[in-house]
Chain A
């Protein structure tokens, strides 16, 4: 599909009520994360102990945490960490998955068998288990979280790309290109990948929602972003011990995760309809 066609589909998705509302929220979160320093008068890591555990008020819209830091500020800065970690690691995962899946689907043979074994192996295990194994090896922190997310979802994109390539590989126009003497790399890059791009990208978008939850879960365990860097998950990690004293510390970051993930799912849904790829996503 051409770039123009894709943009048209996104436009069509945005014109549905579902797509418009979810798209607006996502835009809000992204803009909030980018312009966080301008939007709030507070700092995310400067402590203000006399104001600790302040309930939501006009001065602190979402209240303050155990160190008196403004929670709205931390949610905005947390969006930077959570979104960039999720988007970046899913992008790496999608790219790697496409390379592996395309090569496996197009060339077949021993490489295909090796890739299939890897996919089958990781497929049946829950992402959180795969992520915890990787965090055990790499150690807690943002790097560990990113590698964990990228590997946990790799099987999904590899499988999907491979299925797409296999489906198109035997079409007549590919045969025609081959008989005209086109090289393998040309066929892969010019014909096969562009035609299998849409479902993989939408799957990537939906997985970004799951990745935000996985990041938040690892952060909540204290294995993700380390203090004082705020991420939505790590904010809740310190808040869970203070559940009775200051529930807003866990309620608002969690709400940010929940609404964002629902928005990603709704937008993905609208996009699937606009692109008309429901069956292609289900094949894999």
Chain B
């Protein structure tokens, strides 16, 4: 297992380098002079010289990337052009909100998705299955920001059960988690249903029926255990997708987090903040995928041996 872990983490290294290089290059690819893009309008020449020295802007690009990466790895993400605060402290402030939102959304979509998938598979091709699968299609195709707005309209405006926006208290988490979770839930439910139906047709299930075990027990104790492996695979692949949903939903609910910070910074051309948020999101996606892979390897010895 340790061997697998080390290999998997090492595989992540080139991906991290490539992604961070692209994010670093944003500053050089946008129109205009990089220094101008890092300075507030009307800054003096000494501020300019300071920036040039810090980022080594007279050096070749590869050296600049090295310096930038070195700074990033030491936690120095630059200074925001708009707020003039260190970007790292801005990120540290909002990161817990985003992680909490993403984590709960992941939890919600896994649990609800698996339950719905089991029910749909048990009633295969009958009305409960058709209703669930219809809902799943809807859930996976509705734009999540629109779903969020509709939920605000229904539960905050009409019923005033939950606050419209912000990140204070548990109530403010309910609607955002629901908004992201419904899309993820749809995906998990679809995969669970298919793999439950697939696993139920294996020989060992026939044997269990022959032994006289109750169908519910077979389904939950034996079939489900097999069916969960592809579900974890999909979750591992799509963890980034759920985290990506957080970007949109934070904006809808005006919830302080990486996503909201990123969108605001994009509109204000606050490039150090844009770069930092994108980098954080990319790292979150990579770590999420890694976590999913590790979980999968823990559950399925075949995955572990395939890597070696």
- Seen from chain A, the residues whose Cβ lies within 8 Å of a Cβ on chain B are 120-121, 124-129, 132-133, 135-137, 139-140, 209, 213, 216-217, 220-223, 236, 240, 243-244, 247, 250-251, 254, 257-258, 261-262, 265-266
- Seen from chain B, the residues whose Cβ lies within 8 Å of a Cβ on chain A are 15, 18-19, 22-23, 26, 29-31, 137-138, 141-146, 149-150, 152-153, 157, 237, 240-241, 243-245, 247-248, 251-252, 262-263, 266-267, 271, 274, 278, 281-282, 285-286, 289
Find chain A residues with CB under 8 A from B240 CB: 124-126, 129
Assembled-state Cα–Cα distance A151/B267 (Å): 21
B244 interface neighbour in A129, A254, A258, Cβ under 8 Å: A129
CB atoms of B237 and A124 under 8 A apart: yes
Find chain B residues with CB under 8 A from A140 CB: 266-267
A257 interface neighbour in B146, B243, B244, B263, Cβ under 8 Å: B146
CB atoms of A129 and B278 under 8 A apart: yes
CB atoms of B18 and A121 under 8 A apart: yes
**Consensus secondary structure, chain A interface:** helix
Assembled-state Cα–Cα distance A234/B286 (Å): 31
Question: Closest CB-CB distance, B262 to chain A, in whole Å?
Answer: 7
Find chain B residues with CB under 8 A from A132 CB: 247, 262, 266, 278
Question: Closest CB-CB distance, A234 to chain B, in whole Å?
Answer: 12
CB atoms of B266 and A223 under 8 A apart: yes
Given A217-B145, A250-B146, A261-B141, A243 and B282 contact (CB-CB distance below 8 Å): no
Find chain B residues with CB under 8 A from A216 CB: 143, 145-146
Closest to A209 in B: B141
Find chain B residues with CB under 8 A from A254 CB: 143, 146, 149-150
Given A124-B240, A126-B240, A136-B266, A217 and B149 contact (CB-CB distance below 8 Å): no
What are the 9 A-B residue pairs with the smallest beta carbon separation, nearest first? A126-B244, A254-B146, A128-B244, A261-B141, A137-B29, A126-B241, A213-B143, A126-B240, A262-B141
CB atoms of A121 and B26 under 8 A apart: no
Assembled-state Cα–Cα distance A133/B144 (Å): 20
Given A124-B285, A236-B146, A262 and B138 contact (CB-CB distance below 8 Å): yes
Given contacts A125-B285, A250-B146, 19 further A-B contacts (CB under 8 A): A120-B15, A121-B15, A124-B237, A128-B247, A128-B248, A129-B247, A132-B262, A135-B266, A136-B271, A136-B278, A213-B143, A217-B144, A222-B267, A223-B267, A243-B157, A247-B157, A251-B153, A257-B143, A262-B137
Assembled-state Cα–Cα distance A133/B136 (Å): 30
A selection of 25 A-B contacts at a CB cut-off of 8 Å is: A124-B15, A124-B286, A125-B285, A128-B244, A129-B244, A129-B278, A133-B23, A136-B30, A139-B31, A140-B266, A140-B267, A217-B143, A217-B145, A217-B248, A220-B143, A220-B251, A221-B266, A223-B263, A236-B146, A240-B149, A243-B153, A244-B157, A261-B141, A262-B137, A262-B141
Find chain A residues with CB under 8 A from B30 CB: 136-137, 139
Of the candidates A127, A129, A240, A243, the one having the most CB atoms from chain B within 10 angstroms of its own CB is A129
Find chain A residues with CB under 8 A from B247 CB: 128-129, 132
Find chain B residues with CB under 8 A from A209 CB: 141
Find chain B residues with CB under 8 A from A258 CB: 138, 141-143, 146
Closest to B265 in A: A136
Find chain A residues with CB under 8 A from B146 CB: 216, 236, 250, 254, 257-258
Find chain A residues with CB under 8 A from B263 CB: 221, 223
Question: Closest CB-CB distance, B64 to chain A, in whole Å?
Answer: 17
B289 interface neighbour in A124, A129, A139, Cβ under 8 Å: A124
Assembled-state Cα–Cα distance A181/B191 (Å): 46
Assembled-state Cα–Cα distance A2/B154 (Å): 51
Assembled-state Cα–Cα distance A250/B148 (Å): 11
Find chain A residues with CB under 8 A from B271 CB: 136
Assembled-state Cα–Cα distance A127/B240 (Å): 9
Find chain B residues with CB under 8 A from A126 CB: 240-241, 243-245, 285
Find chain A residues with CB under 8 A from B150 CB: 251, 254
Given A129-B281, A136-B26, A220 and B145 contact (CB-CB distance below 8 Å): yes
